[in-house]
């Protein structure tokens, strides 16, 4: 039997249609005889008396109507509501035609026969296809056990994915979970709908392996609540993509993906203000330094969406520059890749003059705290002196806007990386106070999820390898933001600058890194090993790295802050040094770097960077 099914399933599409047509031509006359036999209560009956070759008319006409309605072009293994509607219309047409034949007295047809024939015909067409579908799926189903899934959300997306999972080889939907009390206790697509709390008690009984969030339009804050409510279930949580990705109205098994880690922040993005996004970009020549980095590359992606006249990519890494240049090549936007270092002021000025750059986003900097701590001279040279030469070049060439992208590590830093960023800020603040033609702004924010060196990709890799997951300290906390949101806010903050402004991005609530690690482990369907040694993945505390702080701050002076026209952007008023003083410090920096005098370098950082404390390393 299986061999026959496999043979028929392997036939070309048109041959399968011929098989179905031949089957229906043979069966439709039998159905007509059957309803006459039932109606007259005897097998030996005259069918459609007065009409010769009635069986040909019934078979050929019926198949023709079904063909015109597209019944034979539908894929039997995945018939749906549309198929049901077409089948209903085709059956109705045949009932009407039978009544017309009776009215015209072309054949003897009792009044009840057309309706009886329509009922049996519809049943045959539906159940024969259902049997074909069942036998085909059973024949080709994988022998491996299917994952048992609970679907959270009994809406349209949930119903669609349940139907798709029933047809899949890898998943078996077991039940629905929904917050609506009116739905709880009901059945949908043969699956019972449970309240979230009651469903928790059923997971072990039903051997649920995964929870699938089928709520494409729900906000991140609500999604975070749902994820946290299932933390103790030790069940992997998956999700469907956003509602904008379901525009075709059909959910597929391939749409299932792991829950995005940004949902753990519970932070819904604020729609950007178009006028701020376009102010320094649209129809202007824009340059991004450090264009191949995490923030720099996302800035470039956001910039090209707002029709710049020209985008100049300035990057020191050849591969990073190649990658972002290839990605951004598209009709309508001219992109120019420039390989170079921001410490080369002569080259910077030549590029700015050659392309008549109007806006500069300065994202070039070293950012890995332990590496810069081990290489302090390079950190100061690239980040501090590189920023000074970049902003000097911009001012000398009459650039309209210069935006320095800074970090929360610049606030009371315990490491050279943060101190180098604060020195870069001080230089920009001092230069802005001289009222140059160039409008200079600073945007300061915390960590971004998914950037190179971020804990998130590190944790994912460690979990995939079975652990351990390494956290530096049980109490270490960080602010987090998504890369696209950070880039959009940087552009909008830069557009609000008037000169010398320090903008702070609202990072939301700080996240405890050990809690983030535990949530990521649970989202993978595993358990962190507890105090009793029970669990799957161990969390190891490795100790704070050189120069690392337990927590980061965005403000040096909490009193000098005011809100702006954007709810996620604040403006800080912080002390700075006269430009004559700070520019002289940078001259000294160059001499210290050339002579490799670490004590003199640390001494200057302690004198000019508020709260700087040297790490033991």
CATH number of the domain enclosing 278: 3.40.50.720
Q: 173 has which bridge partners? A: 149
Name the domain count of the chain: 3
Domain match, 112 and 157 both: no
Q: What is the pLDDT of residue 346?
A: 95
Greater pLDDT, 411 or 252: 411
SS percent in the chain: helix, strand, coil, step 5: 50, 15, 35
Q: Is residue 575 within 8 Å of 568, Cβ to Cβ?
A: no
Compute the average pLDDT of residues 45-74. 82
Nearest alpha carbon to residue 110 among 39, 41, 169: 39
Among residues 101, 121, 140, the one where a domain terminates is 140
Residue 22 exposure: Cα atoms within 13 Å on the Cβ side: 6
Is residue 325 a part of any domain in this protein?
yes
Question: pLDDT tens digits for 338-375?
Answer: 999 999 999 999 999 999 999 999 999 988 888 988 89
Question: In the block, which residue shows the tokens 């950037």?
Answer: 451
Q: Which one-letter DSSP state was computed for residue 49? A: B
Q: Is residue 289 within 8 Å of 361, Cβ to Cβ?
A: yes
Sorting pLDDT into bands at 50, 70 and 90, what band is 535?
confident
Q: What is the pTM of this model?
A: 0.64
- For residues 64-78, one letter each, b for 16 or more C-beta atoms within 10 angstroms of the residue's C-beta and e for the rest, the string is ebbbebebbebebee
Domain match, 580 and 439 both: yes
Would you call 607 helix, strand, or coil by DSSP?
helix
Domain match, 433 and 494 both: yes
Alpha carbon 593 to chain centroid, angstroms = 44
Is residue 617 a part of any domain in this protein?
no
Residue 75 has pLDDT above 90, yes or no: no
Is residue 597 a part of any domain in this protein?
yes
Nearest alpha carbon to residue 391 among 239, 313, 500: 500
Residue 246 has pLDDT above 50, yes or no: no
Domain match, 363 and 443 both: yes
Q: What are the tokens at 16?
A: 């399968």
Q: Is residue 62 within 8 Å of 121, Cβ to Cβ?
A: yes
Query: How far apart are the C-alpha atoms of 589 and 222, rounded to whole Å?
Result: 50
Domain match, 129 and 227 both: no
- Whether residue 468 is preceded by a cis peptide bond, meaning omega within 30 degrees of 0, is yes
Would you call 211 helix, strand, or coil by DSSP?
strand
Is residue 447 a part of any domain in this protein?
yes
Compute the average pLDDT of residues 188-204. 82
**Cβ neighbours around 84 below 10 Å, total:** 12
Residue 109 has pLDDT above 90, yes or no: no
Q: Is residue 408 within 8 Å of 444, Cβ to Cβ?
A: yes
Q: What is the pLDDT of residue 196?
A: 84
Is residue 266 a part of any domain in this protein?
no
Domain match, 444 and 503 both: yes
Domain match, 314 and 420 both: yes
Q: Is 264 exposed, middle or buried (0-12, 13-18, 19+ CB in 10 A)?
A: buried
Sorting pLDDT into bands at 50, 70 and 90, what band is 2?
low
Q: Is residue 235 within 8 Å of 203, Cβ to Cβ?
A: yes
Q: What is the pLDDT of residue 398?
A: 92
Q: What is the pLDDT of residue 143?
A: 44
Domain match, 545 and 562 both: yes
Q: What is the pLDDT of residue 569?
A: 82
Is residue 615 a part of any domain in this protein?
no
Q: What is the pLDDT of residue 11?
A: 64
Q: 258 has which bridge partners? A: 238
Domain match, 395 and 473 both: yes
Residue 29 has pLDDT above 80, yes or no: yes
**Cβ neighbours around 118 below 10 Å, total:** 20
Lowest mean pLDDT among 64-68, 468-472, 571-575: 571-575
Q: Which one-letter DSSP state was computed for residue 240? A: P
Among residues 204, 231, 259, the one where a domain terminates is 259
Q: What is the pLDDT of residue 421?
A: 92
Is residue 616 a part of any domain in this protein?
no
Q: What are the tokens at 605?
A: 């950082």
Domain match, 244 and 345 both: no
Is residue 265 a part of any domain in this protein?
no
Lowest mean pLDDT among 63-72, 76-85, 592-601: 76-85
Would you call 336 helix, strand, or coil by DSSP?
strand
What is the gyration radius of the CA atoms in the chain, in angstroms?
Answer: 35
Q: What angle do CA 596, 598, 603 make, to 5 degrees?
A: 130
- What residues have CB less than 8 Å from 150, skipping those under 6 apart? 173, 174, 175, 176, 177, 199, 203, 206, 208, 210, 211, 212, 235
Question: In the block, which residue shows the tokens 């005011």?
Answer: 562
Q: What is the pLDDT of residue 247?
A: 42
Compute the average pLDDT of residues 281-298. 92
**Which helix H or strand E contains 352, and what residues bound it?**
helix 345-355
Domain match, 68 and 195 both: no
Q: Is residue 152 within 8 Å of 177, Cβ to Cβ?
A: yes
Among residues 125, 140, 155, the one where a domain terminates is 140
Greater pLDDT, 441 or 74: 441
Q: What is the pLDDT of residue 543?
A: 82
- For residues 384-413, one letter each, b for 16 or more C-beta atoms within 10 angstroms of the residue's C-beta and e for the rest, the string is bbbbbbbbbbbbebebebbbbbbbbbbbbb
Compute the average pLDDT of residues 75-91. 73
Q: What are the tokens at 370?
A: 């332990």
Sorting pLDDT into bands at 50, 70 and 90, what band is 204?
confident
Q: Which one-letter DSSP state was computed for residue 384? A: I
Domain match, 56 and 205 both: no
Task: Give the domain extent around 341.
Answer: 274-608
């Amino acid at each position: 039997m299986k061999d026959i099914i496999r043979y028929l399933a392997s036939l070309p599409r048109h041959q399968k249609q011929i098989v179905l047509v031949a089957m229906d031509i043979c069966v439709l006359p039998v159905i007509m005889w059957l309803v006459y036999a039932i109606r007259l209560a005897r097998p030996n009956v005259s069918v459609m008396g007065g009409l010769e070759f009635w069986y040909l008319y019934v078979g050929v006409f019926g198949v023709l109507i079904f063909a015109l309605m597209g019944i034979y072009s539908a894929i039997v293994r995945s018939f749906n509501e549309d198929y049901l509607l077409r089948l209903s219309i085709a059956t109705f047409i045949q009932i009407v035609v039978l009544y017309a034949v009776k009215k015209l007295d072309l054949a003897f047809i009792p009044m009840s026969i057309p309706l009886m024939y329509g009922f049996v015909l519809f049943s045959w067409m539906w159940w024969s296809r259902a049997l074909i579908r069942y036998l085909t799926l059973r024949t080709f189903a994988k022998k491996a056990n299917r994952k048992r899934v609970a679907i959270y959300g009994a809406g349209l997306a949930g119903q669609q994915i349940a139907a798709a999972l029933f047809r899949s080889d890898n998943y078996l939907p077991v039940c629905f979970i929904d917050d609506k009390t009116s739905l709880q206790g009901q059945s949908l697509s043969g699956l019972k709908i449970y309240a979230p709390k009651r469903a928790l008690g059923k997971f072990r009984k039903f051997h649920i392996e995964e929870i699938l969030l089928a709520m494409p339009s729900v906000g991140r804050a609500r999604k975070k609540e749902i994820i946290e409510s299932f933390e103790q279930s030790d069940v992997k949580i998956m999700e469907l993509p956003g509602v904008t990705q379901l525009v075709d109205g059909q959910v597929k098994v391939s749409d299932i993906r792991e829950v995005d880690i940004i949902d753990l922040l519970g932070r819904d993005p604020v729609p950007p203000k178009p006028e701020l996004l376009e102010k320094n970009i649209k129809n202007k020549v824009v340059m991004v330094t450090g264009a191949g980095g995490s923030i720099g590359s996302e800035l470039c992606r956001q910039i090209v969406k707002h029709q710049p006249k020209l985008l100049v990519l300035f990057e020191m890494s050849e591969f990073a520059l190649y990658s972002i240049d290839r990605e951004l090549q598209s009709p309508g936007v001219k992109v120019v890749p420039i390989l170079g270092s921001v410490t080369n002021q002569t080259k910077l000025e030549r590029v700015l003059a050659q392309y008549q750059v109007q806006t500069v986003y300065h994202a070039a900097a070293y950012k890995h705290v332990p590496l810069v701590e081990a290489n302090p001279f390079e950190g100061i040279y690239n980040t501090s002196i590189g920023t000074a030469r970049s902003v000097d070049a911009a001012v000398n060439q009459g650039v309209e806007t210069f935006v320095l992208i800074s970090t929360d590590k610049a606030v009371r830093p315990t490491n050279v990386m943060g101190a180098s960023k604060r020195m870069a800020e001080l230089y920009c603040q001092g230069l802005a106070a001289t009222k140059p033609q160039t409008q200079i702004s600073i945007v300061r924010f915390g960590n971004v999820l998914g950037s190179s060196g971020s804990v998130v990709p590190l944790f994912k890799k460690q979990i995939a390898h079975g652990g351990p997951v390494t956290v530096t300290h049980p109490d270490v906390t960080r602010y987090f933001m998504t890369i696209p949101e950070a880039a959009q806010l940087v552009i909008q903050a830069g557009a609000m600058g008037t000169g010398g402004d320090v903008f702070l991005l609202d990072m939301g609530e700080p996240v405890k890194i050990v809690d983030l690690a535990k949530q990521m482990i649970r989202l993978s369907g595993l358990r962190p090993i507890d105090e009793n040694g029970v669990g799957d993945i161990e969390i190891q505390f490795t100790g704070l790295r050189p120069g690392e702080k337990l927590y980061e701050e965005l403000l040096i002076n909490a009193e000098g802050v005011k809100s702006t026209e954007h709810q996620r952007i604040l403006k800080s008023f912080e002390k700075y040094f006269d430009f004559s003083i700070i520019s002289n410090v940078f001259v000294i920096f160059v001499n210290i770097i050339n002579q490799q005098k670490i004590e003199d370098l640390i001494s200057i950082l302690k004198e000019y960077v508020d709260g700087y404390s040297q790490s033991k390393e």
